[in-house]
Amino acid sequence: MKFWAKSLRIVNAFCDNAAQSIRHVAHQTGFSKSSVHRLKQAMERRDRHPESWLWETEEGHRWLLRLVVAALFTFGLTRGVGAETLSEFFGRLRLEAHIGSSPSALRRMMEALEAVLLETAGTWEHEGVAAGEIRPIIGAVDETFLERMMLVFMDLASGYLVAEEVAADRSYDTWYAVVTARLATLGVGVRYMVSDRAKALIKLADTGLACLSVPDFFHLLHDLTKSYSLAIVSRLRHAQQALQHAQERLAACQEAHPDGADVQHVHALVEVHEAEVQRWQNVHSDYRHHLEHLSLIMHPWRLGGSTPQTSHEVEDLLQTEIAALETLVATQGVPIKKHALEKVRKQLAGVAALVDVWWQEVWHDVQSQVALTSQWRGWVAECVLPLMYWQEQLARTRCPRRKAKLFEALQTVEEAMETHPLTRQLAPEVLAGWKVWAAEHARGFQRASSAVEGRNGALPQLHHNQRGLPKRRYKVWTVLHNFDCRAADGSTPASRFFRHEFPDLFETVLSKIDDVPRSRQRHQALAISI
């Protein structure tokens, strides 16, 4: 029997009759008299504060175990708080007499939690694979550099981290070995891959996985932004500074010589600078409008009227918008960066190809389940699919202007959906099933690898917080992301990826931890005076 179990039995015995002797308690509990006496003395030493009695009870000890595990799980493992800070935290709660709260004791307990987490995740992943509900992966691949380089492979539709491995290099062979090993374990393929234009990543999709390689639309827009944004904004800022100086000079002239000839000259100069500021504000606004329009073009439907469009139509619209952007820059005297524009133009066909691939997957999935008439196909393409798609895009968009335009498109589709005669023919549960199906395909249109970029941004912060970590902690972070990172609807990346519900990770880990570490009893050292 463990220490806390013995202590609890003795506490219960004394609670029943506080006046009974050590001999009587020993006979009642089955322990030796020396054990009872030693444990009673330990309880008396722990009784330092008014609340100390609570931690000796069964309910109090269970809550104390939950507190310790929750603090180490949430702050230590998930947020990267160090053991020294956690030790200070428990000290401020006056728990040092009841638990081993030294940094070394807390580190050992975190190691125990890590082992439980990795074992639990492995078991749950096998359960998810056995359920057989995994869909082909929409992959995003990238690398990040911490103390060691890490290769990150994520399913964009669910947010599940398929692989997060430390590697010596980022060559094609290394990527291929990491990705194919995980795909074989999960028994799943890749529908298409979104990545930057690194040669190893393009080859991984085209040759290694035999799937479509989609240029990252986020990187494409970023290339345009960094090419011209600084040049336009700097000219606007210089015009604003010149206007401010002219206004200050005008105010000084009006104060010194209100009727002087200089006032009219400076006033005319202010008007010139105001016109220049207005000009560059208009240029900046038009420039941002073109970037925004590029983003709004790259969808399976036109924003106005939610009309389905093809890859060829999308590519033509993107090319037209790039040409308009180039014309804007050229007419305003901003140096044209031909290399950047050509780099973007070369990627437009690959980006637009996603639209046809997505529509092909949609109709293939429909035909594998039910045969639709042309009228029902129109209802699917123009009502239920755009309805769930614009809802998904609206939830993910933060820009107020784009959000307003998406909301307008969503309202139009909602009205068309409600008034469509086929909608009224469906029972509520059938219509709900169609919406679930459409929402799933809406998440299947992934044009950017922003999610994996966000993961790469989170990892360095965690690494910095803990000043470098052992290699095993990286796998723990992967487990926490997959099984404990919850969306607004309560789902985790793992539940979305495997289409299988898993128990709460924290409660599962807590159930496998038997006890808190014991506090260390320090012997008082003798003071020696010389």
pLDDT of 418? 93
Domain closes at, from 411, 437, 463? 437
Is the pLDDT score of 401 beyond 60?
yes
* Number of Cβ within a 10 Å radius of residue 331: 9
More confident residue, 182 or 9: 182
What is the Cα 324 distance to its own chain's centre? 35
DSSP 13-33: HHHH-TT--HHHHHHHHT--H
pLDDT of 512? 92
Residues 38 and 77 in one domain: no
Is the pLDDT score of 527 beyond 50?
no
Write the pLDDT tens digit of every residue in 504-519.
999 999 999 887 777 6
pLDDT of 187? 94
230 falls in which pLDDT band (50, 70, 90)? confident
Is the pLDDT score of 203 beyond 90?
yes
174 falls in which pLDDT band (50, 70, 90)? very high
CA separation, residue 269 to residues 255, 274, 278, 502 (Å): 17, 9, 14, 70
Q: Compute the average pLDDT of residues 198-209.
A: 95
Query: What does the alpha-carbon distance between residue 325 and residue 287 come to, in Å, rounded to a whole number?
Result: 7
pLDDT of 525? 42
259, burial (CB in 10 Å: exposed 0-12, middle 13-18, buried 19+)? exposed
Half-sphere exposure of 466 (CA within 13 A, CB side): 25
pLDDT of 22? 67
Residue 431: phi and psi, rounded to 5, are -60, -40
Write the pLDDT tens digit of every residue in 284-318.
999 999 999 999 999 999 998 899 999 999 999 99
Residue 411: phi and psi, rounded to 5, are -60, -40
DSSP 138-207: EEEEEEEESSSEEEEEEETTTTEEEEEEEES---HHHHHHHHHHHHHHHT--EEEEEE-S-HHHHHIIII
Q: Which of 190-199, 271-280, 404-413, 460-469 has the lowest mean pLDDT?
A: 460-469
Is residue 234 assigned to a domain?
no
pLDDT of 244? 92
Token match 């709660």: residue?
93
Is residue 172 assigned to a domain?
no
Q: Compute the average pLDDT of residues 212-233.
A: 90
Q: Per the structure, how many domains does the chain have?
A: 3
Is residue 60 assigned to a domain?
no
Residues 430 and 484 in one domain: no
Q: What three-state secondary structure class fits 345?
A: helix
Query: What does the alpha-carbon distance between residue 511 and residue 441 come to, in Å, rounded to a whole number?
Result: 37
pLDDT of 12? 61
pLDDT of 11? 61
Is residue 506 assigned to a domain?
yes
Write the pLDDT tens digit of every residue in 13-48.
656 555 566 666 665 666 676 666 666 666 656 667
- The per-residue pLDDT of the chain, averaged, comes to 86
Which range, 6-10, 240-244, 457-461, has the best average confidence (pLDDT)? Answer: 240-244
528 falls in which pLDDT band (50, 70, 90)? very low
pLDDT of 517? 74
Domain closes at, from 412, 437, 462? 437
49 falls in which pLDDT band (50, 70, 90)? low
Q: Compute the average pLDDT of residues 421-439.
A: 93
Q: Which of 93-97, 360-364, 491-495 has the lowest mean pLDDT?
A: 93-97
Write the pLDDT tens digit of every residue in 251-288.
888 877 777 677 788 888 889 999 999 999 999 999 99
Write b or e for each residue in 484-503: b if 16 or more Cβ atoms lie within 10 A of its Cβ, otherwise e: bbeeeeeebbbbbbbebebe
Q: Which of 61-75, 144-158, 401-415, 516-530 has the lowest mean pLDDT?
A: 516-530
Beta carbons within 8 Å of 128's beta carbon, 6+ residues apart: 134, 494, 497, 498, 500, 502
CATH assignment at residue 30: 1.10.10
More confident residue, 299 or 49: 299
Query: Contact at 8 Å (CB) between 351 and 318?
Result: yes
Q: Which of 224-238, 365-379, 446-460 has the lowest mean pLDDT?
A: 446-460
Q: What counts of helices (H) and strands (E) characterise the chain? A: 21, 5
8 falls in which pLDDT band (50, 70, 90)? low
Angle, alpha carbons 342-348-351 (nearest 5°): 145
Q: What three-state secondary structure class fits 94?
A: coil
pLDDT of 454? 79
Is the pLDDT score of 529 beyond 50?
no
pLDDT of 451? 86
Q: Which domain holds residue 493?
A: 66-133+471-530
pLDDT of 312? 97
Is the pLDDT score of 522 beyond 60?
no
Is residue 493 assigned to a domain?
yes
Write b or e for each residue in 41-52: b if 16 or more Cβ atoms lie within 10 A of its Cβ, otherwise e: ebbeebeeeeeb
Q: Which of 35-44, 123-132, 246-255 has the lowest mean pLDDT?
A: 35-44
Q: Compute the average pLDDT of residues 245-256.
A: 85
pLDDT of 40? 64
